[in-house]
Structure 1
């Protein structure tokens, strides 16, 4: 089968290559998926570049990247219902703690990691539901319904934030979003009631003025730089659902203001989400998609031999739409 691989850390154009690998066979409890689209995410680029803290060498001799993807089940292993053959599926954790991910014509993985797509959902959309979709669903709905609550989404123009805005609005929340000036119109159109430039010198005052007393739940992409702001704008007993802090990985916490509001900090790493929480997030995503409440922007699609350019686009940031490799 055709596969994109890497064997050493480095720049995408230097280490990603296309080669032929043996077509895998599903073992007991596994399915073989014929991949249509493989989703590239920042975590894939960080793993390939060797920039993850404490990681000094690749974990496997040969790596096929990417945890997200979508395709059609072609075969099943022992113990898996044969009726699943031919099912359109989306994939989560395709390359988590495994050498061979979705950036190949075929991937084998445990059957529950290939989730049957709703009939109305395209394979292109399915390839985005793993890391961005599940992260958005978990950070918005991790404590249950948000009907009538005020939800603040930072980075509303990003992959996770854009989905989180739509999910929170669909869930009945009043959505306040921050983003760059370029993205304000599209984030507003996605369902945010109020949108502010994250660089505004009056951001805290602006959020408090429209929130009716503060924020119930914050979906946070940059925890470190925004902790002081969050301590100011959150309601007492509010929750900060954080999934990133790339600009400050060792943040200082304003513990006093957070203490006297009894704020909860809920850090999400979607790769290790417990089964019950993952099943709930999957159900939320499917319900929103079936209701027509989620709109994903046109993806950036690359051929396998242009996977290096796909990673470059992911690393550059500021893009609109998912980054997919088509097989």
Structure 2
């Protein structure tokens, strides 16, 4: 099979297209013929600095494809199932930037008739967004239609992949979603994703505009730039509300006004999808799968998430695009089945 492999950390030039034997699924694992691999910021960050316990790594946490074989203890009825994959390369060498990969069976989720493009876009962004939408004291553990019908959610940076996922999931759960963006073009994307209100933070006062919509503040803030937005978030989180931070601004530090947040019993929740509690992860996988099955989440320009397709041979270019902050979702087509 063809696979992308790197044997040392570094820039995108370390990514090599190689021929490897098709891996055999071990006990509790499935072999998946990958159709589409999703690229996330975590992929280039891992490529630059994460250790290589196996001495090599195929990148790609997310993907979608068809189950080709199963290991010992796995129901053979899964063979032939279309699935989406999550955390394929987390503490494992077999990522999704390859024609085949192996994952534990619980990390291969039935996709049904949804597109492989959608399946490859679900993992990191949507599981992260789910955690951000369920970690607060006012928020439910699980999402479904109506779960957030009385809630106001603020998504800081609604045109990014996680921001888009948070908007779509929150709207699927019937929340009122307010989001911030930096341009008219990004405002169009956030509106397409389903945001109820879109605020251009370069032209409007975010605190003033959000207070018009939610005078008592918002239940949860999905935060991409905590160091930059901390003062705004502190003014907008309601009593008992939560600010859920999923990015680190390149290692920046956050300064918070303690007393106002104490008065509100506010929560600052830091989110890393890989290490979130197991129960929360299980809820996220189930809910995201349900939302996809119900057509509650989508991808593409019409969903506010433009798609950028690359071939397996062009994986290095795909990584560079993500590292340079391309707007939308970068996907690698590993076969012609997309």
Q: Judge same fold: TM > 0.5, yes or no.
A: yes
Deviation of 1:302 (Å)? 1.1
Provide the C-alpha distance between the structure 1 equivalents of 2:63 and 2:278, rounded to a whole number of angstroms: 19
Does residue 323 in structure 1 map to residue 316 in structure 2? no
For 1:178, what is the secondary structure of its paired residue?
strand
What residue number does 1:267 align with? 270
What residue number does 1:49 align with? 48
Match of 1:276 among 275, 279, 292: 279
Match of 1:192 among 167, 187, 195: 195
168-177 vs 268-277, which deviates more? Answer: 268-277
What residue number does 1:180 align with? 182
Deviation of 1:250 (Å)? 2.1
What residue number does 1:308 align with? 316
For 1:127, what is the secondary structure of its paired residue?
helix
What residue number does 2:231 align with? 228
What residue number does 2:303 align with? none
For the 8 Å contact 1:30–1:80, the answer to whether it is kept is: yes
Does residue 40 in structure 1 map to residue 39 in structure 2? yes
For the 8 Å contact 1:37–1:70, the answer to whether it is kept is: yes
Q: Residue deviations 1:268-299, cap 9 Å, x none?
A: 21112333212211222223223322121152
Q: Residue deviations 1:134-189, cap 9 Å, x none?
A: 11222123431322111000110000101211211221111110012121122123
Provide the C-alpha distance between the structure 2 equivalents of 1:279 and 1:91, rounded to a whole number of angstroms: 14
Which runs of structure 1 show a deviation greater than 3 angstroms over 4 or more consecutive aligned residues? 57-60
With normalisation by structure 2, the TM-score equals 0.90
Call closer, same or farther: CA 1:282–1:105 in 2, change over 3 Å: same
RMSD: 1.7
Call closer, same or farther: CA 1:190–1:170 in 2, change over 3 Å: same
Provide the C-alpha distance between the structure 2 equivalents of 1:140 and 1:77, rounded to a whole number of angstroms: 35
Deviation of 1:247 (Å)? 4.5
Provide the C-alpha distance between the structure 1 equivalents of 2:248 and 2:31, rounded to a whole number of angstroms: 35
For the 8 Å contact 1:40–1:325, the answer to whether it is kept is: no
Provide the C-alpha distance between the structure 1 equivalents of 2:201 and 2:148, rounded to a whole number of angstroms: 23
Q: Residue deviations 1:221-267, cap 9 Å, x none?
A: 11221111111111111111221122453222222221111101222
Q: Residue deviations 1:281-326, cap 9 Å, x none?
A: 1222223223322121152121111111100110111422333342
Q: Residue deviations 1:91-140, cap 9 Å, x none?
A: 111000112211111111211111111x2311111111110111122212
Provide the C-alpha distance between the structure 1 equivalents of 2:173 and 2:106, rounded to a whole number of angstroms: 26
For the 8 Å contact 1:243–1:267, the answer to whether it is kept is: yes
Task: Structure 1: state its 5+ residue gaps.
Answer: none
Provide the C-alpha distance between the structure 2 equivalents of 1:78 and 1:138, rounded to a whole number of angstroms: 32
Q: Residue deviations 1:6-27, cap 9 Å, x none?
A: 1122221x21110011211111
Task: Structure 2: state its 5+ residue gaps.
Answer: 141-146, 301-305
Provide the C-alpha distance between the structure 2 equivalents of 1:84 and 1:290, rounded to a whole number of angstroms: 18
What residue number does 1:255 align with? 258
Provide the C-alpha distance between the structure 1 equivalents of 2:39 and 2:193, rounded to a whole number of angstroms: 23
Match of 1:106 among 95, 100, 109: 100
For the 8 Å contact 2:36–2:331, the answer to whether it is kept is: no
With normalisation by structure 1, the TM-score equals 0.93
What residue number does 2:66 align with? 72
194-203 vs 108-117, which deviates more? Answer: 194-203
